[in-house]
Amino acid sequence: MEAIWLYQFRLIVIGDSTVGKSCLIRRFTEGRFAQVSDPTVGVDFFSRLVEIEPGKRIKLQIWDTAGQERFRSITRAYYRNSVGGLLLFDITNRRSFQNVHEWLEETKVHVQPYQIVFVLVGHKCDLDTQRQVTRHEAEKLAAAYGMKYIETSARDAINVEKAFTDLTRDIYELVKRGEITIQEGWEGVKSGFVPNVVHSSEEVVKSERRCLC
C-alpha cells in the first residue's frame, strides 16, 4: 500500500435521490456494483488514490451525500470544504435533470467564499432505451454553466474511472496554476506527503538520541 500523495482533494457527489450517487462511488472506490443499496443517510465517506501522471498521486476524499430532502441540512454543510463535485442526474429520469439547475444554485449559496469545480454526470447510461434526456441537451446545459459533461454507468462500469480522474486532473491543473490554493481553515485541497522532505520534531529528537548511544 503506497500512501504517498501530492495532494488531497475533497470531492462531493450530489444530485437527486436514486440517481445512483452511492453506486457510482462504490464502483469507483470498491470496484463493484451493488444491485440493492439502502438510501444514504446524511453523508458517507470514501477515499481512493488516483494516479494522474506517472508517479503523481492524488488522494481523493469523496463525500457521498443523501439525495433525500430531509437530509439537506446535513449535506449542505459539506459544500464549503469541497474543491470539486460530481453533479449527477439519471438519464432515464427527466426530473432529476431539471433539478440540476436547483442543485447548482444551492451549492452556490453554501460554498461561499470558495468555489467548486463541477462535472455534470448523466448516470445510468446503460439504460439507453429508457433515456429521457438527450446527450445534446445535457451538454448544452453543462456548457452554459461551464461544466464538462460525461455519461456513466456504475452497473456496466462505463466512464466511472474517467469521470473521477478527469475532474481530478482539472482541479490539479488549477492548483498548479495557482488558481486554487491551499488555505488555512479550508479542507478542499491539502498538500500530501512526500518522502524525505518533512521532518517532524519527534524524528529529529529521536535521531539525536540515537547518536548518543
Partner 1 sequence: MSDKDDSETPVLTEAVPILEDGNCEPAKNSESVDQNAKPESKSEPIASTRKRPEAKPSSDLETSEVLPVPVSQAPGKETVSKDVPQTGWGYWGSWGKSLLSSASATVATVGQGISTVIEKAETSLGIPSPSEVSTEQYAAGEINTKDNENSSPMAGPFGVFSTISTAVQSTGKSVISGGLDALEFIGKKTMDVIAEGDPGFKRTKGLMNRNSTLSQVLREAKEKEELRTSDEVTMETEKKTHYGLLFDEFQGLSHLEALEMLSRESEIKVKSILNSLSGEELETLKLELQQLKEAFSLAEFCEEEEEEKIGDEDFTKEITELFSQLHVSSKPEKLAKARNTAHEWIRTSLTKPFTEQEEGEKLLEAENNEQVNKNSIEDIHAFAIRSLAELTACSIELFHKTAALVLHGRKQEVTAIERSRTLSQMTVVLCKELSSLSKEFTTCLTTAGVKEKADVLNPLITAVFLEASNSASYIQDAFQLLLPVLEISLIENKTESPQHELQSQRPLSEQ
For residue 162, give the nearest of 66, 52, 30, 68 by alpha carbon.
Answer: 52
Decide if 152 contacts 121 (C-beta within 8 A). Answer: yes
What CA–CA distance (Å, rounded) separates 94 from 207? 63
Number of residues that bind partner 1 (CB under 8 A): 65
What CA–CA distance (Å, rounded) separates 18 from 5? 33
User: Segment contacting partner 1 (CB under 8 A): 64-72, 113-121, 140-148, 175-183?
Assistant: 64-72
Q: Which residues pair with 189 in a beta bridge?
A: 9
Residue 169 neighbours by CB distance under 10 Å: 14
Q: Looking at beta carbons only, is 144 or 200 nearer to partner 1?
A: 200
- With binding defined as CB under 8 A, does residue 186 bind partner 1? no
Q: Looking at beta carbons only, is 102 or 179 nearer to partner 1?
A: 102
Q: What are phi and psi of 38, to 5 degrees?
A: -70, 155
Closest separation between CB of residue 179 and partner 1, Å? 26
Q: Looking at beta carbons only, is 179 or 191 nearer to partner 1?
A: 191
Question: Mapping DSSP to helix (H, G, I), strand (E, B) and coil, where does residue 26 land?
Answer: helix
- With binding defined as CB under 8 A, does residue 138 bind partner 1? no
- With binding defined as CB under 8 A, does residue 4 bind partner 1? yes
Q: What are phi and psi of 59, to 5 degrees?
A: -90, 125
Q: Which residues contact 181 (CB under 8 A, 6 or more apart)?
A: 175, 189
- With binding defined as CB under 8 A, does residue 43 bind partner 1? yes
- With binding defined as CB under 8 A, does residue 17 bind partner 1? yes
What CA–CA distance (Å, rounded) separates 63 from 79? 10
- With binding defined as CB under 8 A, does residue 64 bind partner 1? no
Site string for partner 1, 95-134 (x = CB under 8 A): x---x--xx--x------------------x--x------
The answer to whether 125 is annotated as binding is no
Binding-site member from 36, 54, 146, 198 for partner 1 (CB under 8 A):
198
Residue 95 in grid coordinates: 426530473
Binding-site member from 16, 121, 167, 180 for partner 1 (CB under 8 A):
16
For residue 151, give the nearest of 125, 174, 190, 127 by alpha carbon.
Answer: 125
Site residues for partner 1 per CB under 8 A: 1-4, 16-18, 27-31, 38, 41-51, 57, 59, 61, 67-74, 77, 95, 99, 102-103, 106, 125, 128, 135, 150-151, 153, 156-162, 193-196, 198-200, 202-203, 212-213
